[in-house]
Chains A and B, each alone.
Chain A
């Protein structure tokens, strides 16, 4: 009798493991210095009081993919979404250590940062192919959205049939133009925010629960 009970428990555990739906992973992607980590920190702080990583005006400050598990957000519509937030290094096709020297780093440190940044970009691309279920594509609203890396990345994400929300960040700056982003990617929803000041985050949370839920 005890044998039967134990076998039943084991089968039940096996089936639970087999059919358990893992938490959805939302990746924050975009070019360097768009404010991806600032947004990740804002979301995580708003809902868990924690943070994801340090931010800086130096490009490629985030050089490793960072994941914060089980963040639950609720939109104004009352819908909730639990997900893992994946903060990724800025995607680019070129990295030169001299870029870091211009920010005042010694050559040795600049070379180290450049090497880590290249590894981080490769890692981010690998995550996108293997482990991401939805994407927040982050752009700096003051920059040209038609840059090749954005066209390529949005095309790559679309080809993987992943839901994508485009976020125009730094909307607090005078030369921000979310309209330019909307004209570049009319096929996707675009939300204009300032993750630094926390402007329009409610709309973002509502869109996230509706879009990724």
Chain B
């Protein structure tokens, strides 16, 4: 039997329909099954904060040991004519990869390139 890793790519539209807690639960349930989750649009900083907190509560000895997460820093972009005029900015979250800490390892991270390695369980 061929051993592999399931990768779930979640679209921005699907994420937009979910509440913060629904997003976090979706990610953690998936990652705890040993899958890799790729979010087309990343999590807001407050959601990242809650993800860290809830991840900590899910860690068990000889079981789930946490997550590895890779994304680019939030990008500030001008939001429409008035924002450009008055200097307002919208924070844009970016492509994010999340996986089990014991299966996903970052090899190299640069400003515009993230290289990661995934192992099967």
Contacts and interface: CB of A to CB of B under 8 A. Distances in A.
Interface string A155-166: 110111000000
B61 A148 contact: no
Contact-size category for B: 20 to 34
Contact of A94 (B49, B74, B101): B101
Interface stretch (B4-12, B17-25, B51-59, B79-87): B51-59
B49 A128 contact: yes
Interface in A136-165: 146, 148, 151-152, 155-156, 158-160
Given A94-B66, A155-B48, A122 B56 contact: yes
A155 B73 contact: yes
A118 B56 CA distance: 5
Give chain A's interface residue range (CB within 8 Å of chain B).
20 to 34
B69 interface: yes
Contacts of A111: 61
Contacts of A152: 45, 48, 52, 69, 71
A77 interface: no
Contacts of A118: 56-57, 59
Given A93-B69, A93-B101, A96-B101, A121 B52 contact: yes
A82 interface: no
B65 A96 contact: yes
Contact of B53 (A92, A126, A159): A126
Contact of B45 (A93, A114, A159): A159
A125 B53 contact: yes
Contacts of A159: 44-46, 74, 91
Contacts of B106: 148
Contact of B65 (A91, A94, A119, A146): A94
Contacts of B49: 125, 128-129, 156
Contacts of A126: 53
A94 B50 CA distance: 14
B61 A155 contact: no
B45 A158 contact: yes
A108 to B, nearest CB: 10
21 contacts: A92-B66, A93-B68, A93-B69, A94-B68, A94-B101, A95-B65, A114-B59, A118-B57, A121-B52, A122-B52, A122-B57, A125-B49, A125-B52, A125-B53, A129-B46, A146-B109, A152-B45, A152-B48, A152-B71, A156-B49, A159-B74
Interface of A: 91-97, 111, 114-115, 118-119, 121-122, 125-126, 128-129, 146, 148, 151-152, 155-156, 158-160
Given A119-B56, A156-B49, A158-B45, 7 more contacts: A114-B61, A122-B53, A125-B56, A129-B49, A148-B70, A156-B46, A159-B46
